[in-house]
């Protein structure tokens, strides 16, 4: 167990569905991140939360809606997705600039939009 837990591991959803991805960390980190990994592309940063406040939204479409109720939990709410949104969604946490830096990643959620 890496210390960052993502659920579910796999998700298949239709374009009209609403679903949520969950990320949880118990490392005492204060920053959490969502990344998208598509085939043959570098990891794309989606959102950054620092002390529960969103500090970065990397021009992500509004069909992706993040939520960070506390420093240990991060959600990604999904609605009316497109097939091109199929990818591996990775959550990470860090101490940010409060510490030495460095990320700890979860195992990811493999999302397929049909």
Partner 1 sequence: KQEVTQIPAALSVPEGENLVLNCSFTDSAIYNLQWFRQDPGKGLTSLLLIQSSQREQTSGRLNASLDKSSGRSTLYIAASQPGDSATYLCAVDLASGTYKYIFGTGTRLKVLA
Please report, for residues 10, 25, 48, 53, 97, the alpha-carbon distance to residue 85 in angstroms, rounded to integers and kept in the order given: 14, 25, 19, 25, 31
Indicate which single residue of 22, 43, 63, 86 sits in contact with partner 1 (rule: CB under 8 A). Answer: 43
Q: Does 110 contact partner 1 by CB under 8 A?
A: yes
Closer by beta carbon to partner 1, 16 or else 39: 39
Q: How far is the CB of 1 from partner 1 (least distance, A)?
A: 11
Angular region, 92: left φ>0, alpha ψ -120 to 50, beta rest: beta
Q: How far is the CB of 59 from partner 1 (least distance, A)?
A: 14
Q: Does 57 contact partner 1 by CB under 8 A?
A: no
Sheet holding 73-79, edge to edge: 4-7, 18-25, 73-79, 64-70
Q: How far is the CB of 85 from partner 1 (least distance, A)?
A: 17
What phi and psi, each to the nearest 5 degrees, are found at residue 113? -105, 125
Which residues are at the interface with partner 1 (CB under 8 A)?
Answer: 2, 4, 6, 31, 33, 40-43, 45, 48, 50, 55-56, 88, 90, 92, 94, 96-97, 100-108, 110
């Amino acid at each position: 167990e890496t210390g960052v837990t993502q659920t579910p591991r796999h998700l298949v959803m239709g374009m009209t569905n609403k679903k949520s991805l969950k990320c949880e960390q118990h490392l005492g980190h204060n920053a959490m991140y969502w990344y998208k990994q598509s085939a043959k592309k570098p990891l794309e940063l989606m959102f950054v939360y620092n002390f529960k406040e969103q500090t970065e939204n990397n021009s992500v479409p509004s069909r992706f809606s993040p939520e960070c109720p506390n420093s240990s939990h991060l959600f990604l709410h999904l609605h009316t997705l497109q097939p091109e949104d199929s990818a591996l969604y990775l959550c990470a946490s860090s101490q940010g600039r409060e510490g030495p830096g460095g990320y700890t990643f979860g195992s990811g959620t493999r999302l397929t939009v049909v």
